[in-house]
Structure 1
């Protein structure tokens, strides 16, 4: 890996990743083939989008084989809608991929984490993947059509030996999240703070750190009292 992060920017803004960590092509983070059946996004501070910083070309790194993917929902989702999640290699077609299509659960406008389990998918080391969540507001019968919104981002798993700034031993909470953030491990930084918020175990400090991390990533418009929740993928 070619260049270190600028530690002076810690808690202020994110430094670009080393050039060799970006995938060959980076995705548009949001869009859709049609929006006729979806609620209006006009009252939301953002459209459906991944929590993937623009400075990282809408993606990020992780240490986890089964990471948690993060996005922002601009409106409430109901079981009348359907969701499709796909995870595909950026360039190596010989690698495994994942696609799940299912009836949506009830989800509130706000932040959504999608934890992957070992029975669903494992990221190999040093391989870039694209993940896409498609929201079909017309329901499960409309998933062959073009009336959907999407959020898309890239993710690459790296080894612990690839970090630039040592991660403190036994670090937890805000300290661990900051160490991940300073090493470009964006997905892990989000998960350390987002998980206790989703499960109701957050402290005042972790709530403030979550808002600060979002601001670091360029998501300051989303830091108002938006709930954090998990979307658990159904088994096949």
Structure 2
């Protein structure tokens, strides 16, 4: 919406000043002339420049110029609305500051019916933050986060039982589009426990993630011969700040989760809390923390069992 600023100086104020009435009369005439010939949204400096030129040409006194300027500015509503392109870029910038490192254009959920797989009540979901950034057309979705470890773990909710017609594939690519890691459901033991949350950890047999490089991952479910449903996002390995490293070394497991979250290190936070949740499934404090973690990124519908 436009931001409007009004300057409230009226002709009544001019009358109260008691200045020469002839000057005021001439000023009012000049005011009418200027309001016709000048754009009402110009800035004061432009107004005065044009009025100075008018004075030189027609020989008006300085008093005439002053009062004409007061009348003109007093009646104006100066519109500081940004041009559409500039306004949208400012909005875009303010929203981009809410993104976390490692996010790339992607999709966090993919649950339309595919082949032999029915449409699920809760779709295939990547358990990662998502940011929507407005563009000139539709919002663009950014998915992912950061890690400090060489071989991070990825978390997904799979809504289907494993069947002969259902297969899965996880792919990790570097920033040049080359495969870094690829694995199928046949090699994923966790896939046997679906529907539910599964984890995929990068093995130490591959090259570690490089600091400062953004990688892109895909997780696909194939049902028959139709196009797979999939989710995709990004991950960036960042250096561990020495001060944060010291705090982590002297913190409890639950405190470490909070430290990771406070520093937008998503993959490390969810992996640590998920491990605590699996080991201490009856601990109500950890259960509440797990639920709150999912709710914090808008995934309150994901089953926690």
TM exceeds 0.5?
yes
1:66–1:123 Cα contact (<8 Å) kept: yes
Alignment partner, residue 97 of structure 1:
180
Alignment partner, residue 48 of structure 1:
124
Q: Distance in 1 between matches of 2:146 and 2:222?
A: 28
Alignment partner, residue 218 of structure 1:
298
Q: Distance in 1 between matches of 2:219 and 2:195?
A: 15
Residue from 257, 281, 287 that aligns with 1:207: 287
Task: Tell me the secondary structure at the aligned position of residue 219 of structure 2.
Answer: strand
Question: Tell me, which stretches of 5 or more residues in structure 2 are unaligned?
Answer: 1-96, 133-141
Task: Tell me the secondary structure at the aligned position of residue 192 of structure 2.
Answer: coil
Alignment partner, residue 112 of structure 1:
198
Q: Distance in 2 between matches of 1:177 and 1:202?
A: 19
Q: Please tell me whether residue 124 in structure 1 is matched to residue 210 in structure 2.
A: yes
Q: 1:163 to 1:135 in 2, by over 3 A?
A: farther
RMSD: 2.9
Q: Distance in 1 between matches of 2:166 and 2:279?
A: 24
1:81–1:136 Cα contact (<8 Å) kept: yes
Pairing 1:167-186 to 2, within 5 Å after superposition: 167-186=247-266
CA positional deviation for 1:172: 3.1
Alignment partner, residue 231 of structure 1:
none
Q: Please tell me whether residue 60 in structure 1 is matched to residue 145 in structure 2.
A: yes
Alignment partner, residue 39 of structure 1:
118
1:193–1:207 Cα contact (<8 Å) kept: no
Q: Distance in 1 between matches of 2:146 and 2:242?
A: 11
Q: Distance in 2 between matches of 1:163 and 1:17?
A: 23
CA positional deviation for 1:79: 5.3
Q: 1:88 to 1:146 in 2, by over 3 A?
A: farther
- When structure 1 is superposed on structure 2, of 183-192 and 47-56 the one drifting more is 47-56
CA positional deviation for 1:80: 4.5
Question: Tell me, which stretches of 5 or more residues in structure 1 are unaligned?
Answer: 1-14, 139-144, 228-236
The structure having more radius of gyration, on CA atoms, is 2
Q: 1:32 to 1:198 in 2, by over 3 A?
A: same
Structure having the larger proportion of residues in helix = 2
Residue from 152, 166, 169 that aligns with 1:84: 169
Moved over 6 A (4+): 162-166
Q: 1:33 to 1:155 in 2, by over 3 A?
A: same
1:49–1:152 Cα contact (<8 Å) kept: no
Q: 1:76 to 1:17 in 2, by over 3 A?
A: same
CA positional deviation for 1:161: 2.0
